[in-house]
Structure 1
Amino acid sequence: MAIGSTFGVGARAMGMGGASLALADDFTALYWNPAGMAQIQKFELFSSFSHNTASTDAYFTGDEITGTTRSQIRPNSIGFVYPFHAKRGGWAIAFGYNRPQNFDYQTAIQGVDPSSDTEFSGLAVDETDVNSGGIGIWSFGTSVYVSKRVLIGGSLDFWQGKSLNELDTTATDLLKVDSELSRFRYDDEIDREYSGVGARIGLLAHLTDAVSVGLTLVAPVELGVDELWYQSTRAVYDDGEEVSDSVDGAQAFDIERPFEIGTGIAVKLFNKQLILAGDVQLTDWTQTRYDPVPADDISQDNFEEFYATTLQVRLGAEYKIPAIGTHIRLGYFRDTIPFTDAEVENARDFLTAGVGKIFEDSLKFDVGYMMGTWQRSRNELTTKQLTHRVFVSAAYRF
């Protein structure tokens, strides 16, 4: 779960598809591009929440679709930026929390497994897979003008999170494909806690009054995982015999997340009433490593074999309506799925929209919305997910 599933933070940024590397002008710069924090001229208190709804349809080839939905409200960002003024330029510090990864979704499967190489082949499967949790980052960062138009910044990041996966499967031999088995039940629960320390640095350059570019580098993170797991099985045979078993355990291992690099550009037009922005972020997930491997059947080459390099694309536009002092936003966000062991028809494409308004030059409210889909097929099973996310942010500057 700690791989991928990264969406972003802040209602303004997400209303613009997450295109923020060359803007970075509020508290969320601590996550997007810490160089931008010195642009903030007043002390800022910031908070943001997100509401995620994931609707999932799953079906075996030629079988009926089973749908399920999971919704959750989570904190998205909270923190402050404190600026220090100087005769030339200035600098700022910031501290707070950003939660860019979300694991709240579930799937349900009902049907006969048509595959020929799984333990449930030919059996009528009734399965529910519930996932919850996420990963957030506590950060302390600073930013400074190194010239009239160039800023640099960095942050020290403390990663924390948890995930819970609860899998309940019942398989019944309705078609009599097994000469002995009548019914089989399998329960699997995995509870994980994540922690790690990382860092990121950023550069923001105002090439002209209208054009800015940003660059961010996220250092590799050794994410520690503490895992508790429980498994139970119960088999009922045609002659009435029942056999059950359960095991549990705990283990600890590290996931070494790879280096990430992102770059972006922003163009301000029509006296800065219109902003166009775009970002790309590269992550080579094949460079991820386990230390040690969490199970005997997982090799150190697991990520090289089953994962890929991803390019996250973020595009956005913002227009200020002068008559009412309100900003409207549109965007596009692509979060490529890093897994290669399944056939993917689309790679988590999202359309975004948003609106924001500043009151008395000090109080700012923003709302952002994302809608996206993806589809994956593996072992005769197709999973389709439709996701809606709503972000609400408030900032006070004084």
Structure 2
Amino acid sequence: MRKTFLVTILILVSYNFCLSQNFNDALRLTEPEIITGARALSMGNAYTALSNDFSATLFNPAGLGLIKKSEFSASFSYDSFSNSTTFFNRKEDFSNNITKLSELSFALPLPTIRGSFVLAFGYNQQKDFNYTMKFNGYNPNNNSLIQDLTNYNDDIAYKLVLSYPVYDRNNKYLYDTTLINGKLNQSGKIVQDGGLHNWSFSAALEIQENVFVGATLNVIGGDFRRDRQYWEDDINDYYSSNLLLDPLEPSSRDFKTFYMNDIIKWDVSGWNLNIGLLTKINKVFNFGFSIKTPRFYTIKETYFVDAYSDFAQTRFYLDPPIENKLEYKINTPYELSLGAAFNENNLNVSFDAKFIDYTQMEFKSGLDIRDIENNNRDIKELFRKVINLHAGFEYIIPFVNVAFRGGFMLLPSPYKDDPSDFDKKFITAGLGLNPGSNLSINLAYAYGWWKDIGDNYGSNLSRTYQDIERSNFILGVRYNF
């Protein structure tokens, strides 16, 4: 049950439906996003000690104090997510692409007698939920989602005439049972999209020469949608026309297909603070430190489930489909970042380390107290502390004002005992152009790869093995005035 993308299907405990949110929901909101400003991304997001543009609101707001001219900036991002999934020795490739406005901002240095004071306001994309997966394979073993739903006494299987009730000799209900015993082809696909964005209000102040402090208030909004489809098919005619799955239903003969579709929709709101310090040791070295407070999220969730079963002569529907709405709160952990940058002879080199303790993710309210406590216990048991590493460089070619950039990111898996294959690795590259004294254009590219697994039900009974690749392009334009 460790990384279970279809696990919530197991929690359909009755036709009245009670969905139990789990640790995956907290993780979805906590894991850092790589999409930032074009210059920052091309340098591997090693930006805590640089942060001299609006991207500072995402890294270190103290860096806004380095801005000398008023500026307007805008960025667009293209995200390509590809998943090559192996399921019972069959591979399926599936991908999804999304294009979005990722930044729109203003920064305004105010007149001061000495030092600097800069205000900034704008929109930036905090997180992209782009994800997809597709699988298809024959499970030769004696298990299926139909059996799992039946074992949980879920009325979905009963409503679709895939299970039937068992009574004692006094006609008292005991449990549901099914004659389905595995040996089915299992297939499915997941497509999810949406994202989170910030409306950021920032200020930075040079409190003494070459020492800057800054703070950002982020007002967070966004949405999330996951559309998940799942099939089980009797492709080998294992359940022949002589078998009635429900002894009291003549049409339950010659089972063909079970289909289930569940859709989650979120409307997300929240807020947090970013606080930072940046100091220029001399003309060569910068050091930066930032603290991101927990993000306090409120999630308004709608969960929809539809299903049907096909037999030789009849299709049974889930009528009516299940729909559930609820509202709950999740808090993410603090994030602590430390960075250093070196600048000499048109060369910038920067390094960042970000500490996140995933065991501090927390469900706060809106759910049954038992679910809250169980979820928070699972978080403590399953997750760990990590340090994300970032490195980048920038070389500016003299006289032509063209900058070449590159970088690397290592984002360790937040799960305990995961092998290194599950760590997210990104290489980045970019280009900076200055066609005029006030205009700059920045291009960035990031390529990432890692492995993952998912269970359709149970643990290692119907498991997908995923090889994931992700590519991001960002085009950023900045105008100084």
Same fold? TM cut 0.5: yes
Q: Which residue number in structure 2 is paired with residue 257 of structure 1? A: 332
Aligned in 2, Cα 1:171/1:85: closer, same or farther, shift over 3 Å?
Answer: same
Pick one of 109, 113, 119 that aligns with 1:83.
109
Q: Is the 8 A contact 2:331 2:362 kept in 1?
A: yes
Counterpart residue number, 2:357: 284
1:138 paired residue among 199, 203, 220: 199
Which sits farther off after the overlay, 77-86 or 365-374? 77-86
Partner of 1:383: 466
Check 1:193–1:34 CA distance in 2 against 1; reply closer, same or farther (3 A cut).
same
Give the drift of 1:51.
0.3
Alpha-carbon offset, residue 336 of structure 1: 2.7
Structure 1 unaligned spans of 5+: none
Structure 1 residues 76 and 315: alpha-carbon distance in aligned structure 2, compared to 1, 3 A threshold:
same
Q: CA deviation at 1:125?
A: 1.6
Contact 2:135–2:464 at 8 Å: present in 1 too? Answer: no
Q: What is the Cα deviation at residue 373 of structure 1? A: 0.7
Whichever residue aligns with residue 353 of structure 2, its letter is V
3-state SS in 2 of match to 1:345: helix
Q: Which runs of structure 2 are paired with 1:245-324 in the superposition (5 Å)?
A: 245=319, 246-270=321-345, 273-292=346-365, 299-324=375-400
- The gaps in structure 2 that reach 5 residues or longer are 1-27, 147-181, 246-254, 455-459
Matched position secondary structure for 1:330: strand
TM-score normalised by length of structure 2: 0.78
Q: Secondary structure at the match of 1:299?
A: helix
Deviations 1:47-68 (A, max 9, x none): 1111001111112142x21111
| Cα distance in structure 1, aligned partners of 2:269 and 2:45 | 25
- Residues in 1 aligned to 2:378 and 2:337: alpha-carbon distance in whole angstroms: 25
TM superposition score normalised by structure 1: 0.93
Look up the SS of the partner of 1:214 in the other structure: strand
- Larger CA deviation: 354-363 vs 293-302: 293-302
Query: Structure 2 CA distance, aligned partners of 1:388 and 1:154?
Result: 31
Deviation for aligned residue 1:190: 0.5
**Which string of whole-angstrom CA distances, capped at 9 and with x for unpartnered residues, describes residues 288-344 of structure 1?**
111236587653313213333232211100001114210000100123332459766
Query: Aligned match of 1:327 in 403, 415, 425?
Result: 403
RMSD: 2.2
Letter in 1 for 2:309: A
**1:112 partner amino acid:** Y
Kindly state the Cα deviation for residue 248 of structure 1 after the two structures are TM-superposed.
0.3
Take 1:115 and 1:43, find their aligned partners in 2: how far apart are those partners? 66
Q: Displacement, 1:350?
A: 0.6
Candidates 40, 48, 66, aligned match of 1:21 = 48
State which structure, 1 or 2, has the greater radius of gyration over its C-alpha atoms.
Answer: 2
CA 237–360 in structure 1, closer or farther in 2 if over 3 Å, else same = closer
Q: CA deviation at 1:118?
A: 5.5
- What is the rounded CA distance, in whole Å, between the counterparts of 1:134 and 1:114 in structure 2? 38
Report sequence identity in percent: 24
Secondary structure of the equivalent of 2:380? helix
Q: Distance in 2 between matches of 1:240 and 1:326?
A: 68
Amino acid at match of 1:325: N
For 2:282 and 2:344, the matched residues in 1 are separated by: 12
Structure 1 distance, partners of 2:361, 2:63, is 29
Which structure has the highest helix share of the two?
2
Match of 1:348 among 403, 424, 432: 424
1:53 to 80, 95, 106: 80
The answer as to whether partners of 1:54 and 1:70 remain within 8 angstroms in 2 is yes
